[in-house]
Structure 1
Amino acid sequence: MRTASQEDVCDASCLHPAAVGQAKAALPDERCVEQASAFLKVMADPTRLKILSALSTTELCVCDLAAVVNISESAVSHQLRLLRTGRIVTYRKEGRVAYYRLLDQHVTTMIRNALDHAQE
């Protein structure tokens, strides 16, 4: 039986320069990779993913989000602070109430795709 490390290594020693060149040319710059990695890390938390899923349907205030994901308002506020810092959610104030929503269509698409993929 092969181990995982053996499966990750080519059986034959060959190099495909055209394919390697094409793959290297397609790599994003280091700054972009770091930002995308940070974006994915922020989303990679079950509580935050629930919040993001709820926000993918409509904008919600902190108390409504707390009711949806069944955690305290304080815990929701903490998670929203991380999501705002990560540029994943934004909010608008109406009087004393802040209504949160996903920042843009890219975030909405990422959340839906991740959840669709998990359901397959």
Structure 2
Amino acid sequence: MEFWHHGQVHLVPADRAHRPAIDQHRACEAIAAIGDRDRVAAWARRFDLLSEPGRLTLLLAIDSAGPISVTDLATAAGMSDTAVSQALRLLRTAGVVEPQRDGRVVRYRISDPGIRPLLKAATT
């Protein structure tokens, strides 16, 4: 479905063209702001990772002091080494952190630069 607003054509996706709009230009602006649904889903997954206090605590510590070992993270976060390792496994699978081996010690650092602004916002 096409809407005209200020001489521009705005398109509503076919799967939503049957829905009535009160202010067509606002609907089009909202659709444009939402953008790519895959990008929205990726950001929702980031927020989901941050929604658990233990993971958020670890990410804040890694962002500030990383690269940092599991043992040091456990001490800083007040968590067991096992709980830290489990959380890091999830964060690593999600591509948010990555390990760096230094001999027998593995240290973690943030690997997703998109998460840094969220962590900064969490501390202000």
Instruction: Give the TM-score band, short-chain normalised.
Output: 0.7 to 0.9
Q: Which runs of 4+ in 1 moved over 6 A?
A: none
Amino acid in structure 2 at the alignment position of 1:85: T
Corresponding residue of 2:47: 40
Corresponding residue of 2:106: 98
Max radius of gyration: which structure? 2
Corresponding residue of 2:25: 18
Aligned partners of 2:97 and 2:109 also within 8 Å: yes
* Distance (Å, rounded) in 1 between the aligned partners of 2:83 and 2:23: 51
Amino acid in structure 2 at the alignment position of 1:46: P
TM-score under structure 1 length normalisation: 0.78
Corresponding residue of 2:92: 84
TM-score under structure 2 length normalisation: 0.76
Q: CA deviation at 1:106?
A: 2.0
* Distance (Å, rounded) in 2 between the aligned partners of 1:103 and 1:110: 14
Corresponding residue of 1:69: 77
Q: CA deviation at 1:50?
A: 0.7
Cα RMSD, aligned residues only: 1.5
Amino acid in structure 1 at the alignment position of 2:40: V
Q: CA deviation at 1:81?
A: 0.5
* Distance (Å, rounded) in 2 between the aligned partners of 1:82 and 1:28: 27
> What's the CA shift string for 1:25-73, capped at 9, x where partnerless?
2222222222221121112100111111111112110000000011111
Number of residue equivalences: 103
Unpaired runs of 5+ residues, structure 2, are 1-20
Corresponding residue of 1:113: 121
Of 30-39 and 59-68, the range deviating more from structure 2: 30-39
Corresponding residue of 1:9: none
Q: Which has the higher strand share?
A: 2
Task: Label 1:24 to 1:37 Cα distance change in 2 as closer, same or farther (>3 A).
Answer: same
Higher relative contact order (CA 8 A, sep 6+): 1
| Identity among equivalent pairs (%) | 31
